[in-house]
Amino acid sequence: MTTTSPATPRDRSPDADTRAALDAALARLRTGSADWRALPAAARRDLLREVRAAVADAADDWARVAAESKGLDPRHPLAGEEWLAGPYAALVALDAYAASLDALARGRSPLAGVRLGTGPGGRTVVHSSPLRASDRLLLSGYTTEVWLQPGVTPHEARDAAGLASRHPHRAGGVGLVLGAGNVTSIPFLDVLYELLAEGRVALLKVNPTQDALVPVFERAFAPLIRAGLVAVASGGGDVGAYLTRHPGIDHVHITGSETTFRAIVGTGEDRLRVPITAELGGVSPIIVVPGRWSKADLRFQAEHVATMRLHNSGHNCIAGQVVLLSRDWDQREEFVRELHRVFGRTPQRPVWYPNAADRLQRVRDVYPDAAWFAGDTRAIAAGGGEIETTEYFAPVLGVIDLPGTGAAFLDAAVAHANDRLTGTLGANVLVDPATLRDLGAGFEDALARLRFGTVAVNAWTAFGFLTPTATWGAYPGGTIGDAPSGIGVVHNALLLDGVERTVVRGPFRPFPRSLGRGRFSVLPKPPWFVTSRTGRAVSEGFTRFRMDGRVGPLLLTLVRAFGA
């Protein structure tokens, strides 16, 4: 999400030259919309393959510029975030969309060959990853499922998959994508969704925090820009406001804050006249189910929690913000001590997002007893209150105690997350294999009760963001008048209809401790962990394998992964 508004204030307007350039871009897109409608699925697939080549060509600059814009040396281990959350995410999405278009071109459903199952309440479950051998290796032990809304049958799911790409000749119009300012693949992926799921050509208005990446986006989108299907614009709130009220726009999509969303929707005579979808973030829980954990488990999962909060310096809509612990867990104090240790030893980095310093000061004022680390740039605060209702978008973690153990604690945590925390974007659950077995079917029922668009079990919900065949967005039910985490979904490269949520599952223990102890994984410490010493090298290596498929360099990357 973003906290600076790409669409306000409305008391200013771009200068005449800027307005003329935007008008011309929208006119070209209007023509391009007709051309897009004329392209069958096979031609769209081939065009995506051209975009893929363009992304691969721009990947080095993409990762470098993104790291530098956040105050990171591109060689720093944490710069691996910019490889995975930038060109890697773009490449895997393009491959997944191309596979769906290829299926449609052959007269098949994008779900052909994808395993379907049944979840709680008879829900249809789409086992959306891994679908390729390379995913089973690189992301060993991690899976995603898309749960469809109750009542959607497997037959209906297969028949509806494809969305607008099933009917390319229907008019889609021109969409405005107001890009996020924090994660560099978000604007790119949102544009792809406009094209392929909604059938709309798109004007991407880049957030000012990503202005340095405009040339990269233009290179990556070059085949689509030449075809008149995409345009890229930069500028401040005046440009965003002009575009949201432009008669050449048929739809608006924003990744941002609820405040920005409200400003765009407007009121009275200034009310937005076209439909809008949005991803607006929220306060994400990390539910820690009490069990019997080894010292290694406590350390690993503390690093896991720290990653959920400190990745990208906390400037993530899906950052874990509130840890829900059992006050009756006999290892509670030990786990909290491990959290404090990892917050203290994780490399210090810039808190770079606009207004983050003000939000950190707000935490000092509201939580005077909070523990501060890394030169007072990150904090852990005990107790509830504002941290449950305000997305800080900064490296601040809350710890809240609830009663009970086992199923009683899980029920209390689910109710607290649903009823006390703002937003419905994502929830994380950490549970050891023995406790998971003891909970039995009740655990899946508890997942079904969590009203969040992505739920991750022994994983971070960001894994769902990074998986193109998963879906990303708020839990269903958001409206113009009440959308704390937004409306609609994105990514969704299988082009599924009737989506309720994505469920991510990962290993509780890394290799070699995963051997015979729950869900198996060959991965040691994942490269996206903020404590990984080889995060940049491994993340870059994974991206280069997606670019060229060369096995030799991949083997070297996997060796490096064991040095994390």
The model's pLDDT over 221-256, given as tens digits with 9 standing for 90+, comes to 999 999 999 999 999 999 999 999 999 999 999 999
Alpha-carbon span 456 to 484, nearest angstrom: 20
Query: Could you read off the pLDDT of 160-217 as tens digits, one per residue?
Result: 999 999 988 887 899 999 999 999 999 999 999 999 999 999 999 999 999 999 999 9
Residue 23 pLDDT greater than 50, yes or no: yes
Residue 461 pLDDT greater than 60, yes or no: yes
pLDDT band at 426 (very low <50, low <70, confident <90, very high): very high
Alpha-carbon span 174 to 195, nearest angstrom: 9
For the residues 451-467, what does the mean pLDDT come to? 98
Query: Could you read off the pLDDT of 536-562 as tens digits, one per residue?
Result: 999 999 999 999 999 999 999 989 888
Residue 2 pLDDT greater than 50, yes or no: no
Type of residue at 509? R
Query: Could you read off the pLDDT of 482-516 as tens digits, one per residue?
Result: 998 999 999 999 999 999 999 999 999 999 999 97
Taking a C-beta distance cutoff of 8 angstroms, is the pair 470, 454 a contact? yes
Q: According to the model, what pLDDT value does residue 318 have?
A: 95
Q: According to the model, what pLDDT value does residue 144 have?
A: 98
Question: Would you state the structure tokens that stand for residue 553, as one six-digit string?
Answer: 């360099």
For the chain, the domains span 16-110+166-279, 284-479
Half-sphere exposure of 28 (CA within 13 A, CB side): 17
Whether omega for the bond prior to residue 130 falls within 30 degrees of 0, making it cis, is: yes
For the residues 136-153, what does the mean pLDDT come to? 96
Q: What are phi and psi of 322, to 5 degrees?
A: -130, 120
Taking a C-beta distance cutoff of 8 angstroms, is the pair 510, 299 a contact? no
Alpha-carbon span 541 to 11, nearest angstrom: 48
Query: Could you read off the pLDDT of 36-80 as tens digits, one per residue?
Result: 999 999 999 999 999 999 999 999 999 999 999 999 999 999 999
Q: What are phi and psi of 490, to 5 degrees?
A: -135, -170
Distance in Å from the first CA to the final CA of the chain = 29
Q: According to the model, what pLDDT value does residue 8 have?
A: 43
**Mean residue pLDDT across the chain:** 95
Half-sphere exposure of 109 (CA within 13 A, CB side): 15
512 three-state secondary structure? coil
Taking a C-beta distance cutoff of 8 angstroms, is the pair 42, 271 a contact? no
Distance of CA 511 to the CA centre of its chain: 26
Type of residue at 308? M
Q: According to the model, what pLDDT value does residue 171 have?
A: 78
Q: According to the model, what pLDDT value does residue 417 have?
A: 98
* b/e 94-118 (16+ beta carbons within 10 angstroms → b): bbbbbbbbbbbbeeebbbeebebee
For helices 89-105 and 185-196, the axis angle rounded to 10 degrees is 10
* % of the chain exceeding 70 in pLDDT: 98
Closest by CA to 125, choosing from 152, 146, 153, is 146
3-class secondary structure per residue, 215-253: HHHHHHCHHHHHCCCEEEECCCHHHHHHHHCCCCCCEEE
Q: According to the model, what pLDDT value does residue 170 have?
A: 84
Closest by CA to 195, choosing from 217, 164, 166, is 164
The residue with tokens 């019997």 is: 292
Taking a C-beta distance cutoff of 8 angstroms, is the pair 128, 464 a contact? no
Q: Which residues contact 43 (CB under 8 A, 6 or more apart)?
A: none
Q: 284-479: what CATH class?
A: alpha beta
Q: According to the model, what pLDDT value does residue 562 have?
A: 85
Residue 275 pLDDT greater than 80, yes or no: yes
Query: Could you read off the pLDDT of 315-346 as tens digits, one per residue?
Result: 999 999 999 999 999 999 999 999 999 999 99
Alpha-carbon span 410 to 416, nearest angstrom: 10
Closest by CA to 182, choosing from 286, 313, 377, 88, is 313
Residue 5 pLDDT greater than 90, yes or no: no
Taking a C-beta distance cutoff of 8 angstroms, is the pair 87, 543 a contact? yes
CB atoms within 10 A of CB 168: 20
Question: Would you state the structure tokens that stand for residue 132, as one six-digit string?
Answer: 């390729």
Query: Could you read off the pLDDT of 346-398 as tens digits, one per residue?
Result: 999 999 999 999 999 999 999 999 999 999 999 999 999 999 999 999 999 99
Q: Would strands 499-505 and 486-487 be described as parallel, antiparallel, or unpaired?
A: unpaired
Whether 16-110+166-279 shares its CATH topology with 284-479 is answered: no
The pTM of the full predicted model, rounded to 2 decimals, is 0.96
Residue 6 pLDDT greater than 50, yes or no: no
Half-sphere exposure of 529 (CA within 13 A, CB side): 24
Closest by CA to 429, choosing from 526, 542, 249, 284, is 284
Alpha-carbon span 135 to 137, nearest angstrom: 5
Type of residue at 557? T
Q: According to the model, what pLDDT value does residue 169 have?
A: 86
Query: Could you read off the pLDDT of 90-120 as tens digits, one per residue?
Result: 999 999 999 999 999 999 999 999 999 999 9
Tell the CATH superfamily of the 16-110+166-279 domain: Aldehyde Dehydrogenase; Chain A, domain 1 (3.40.605.10)
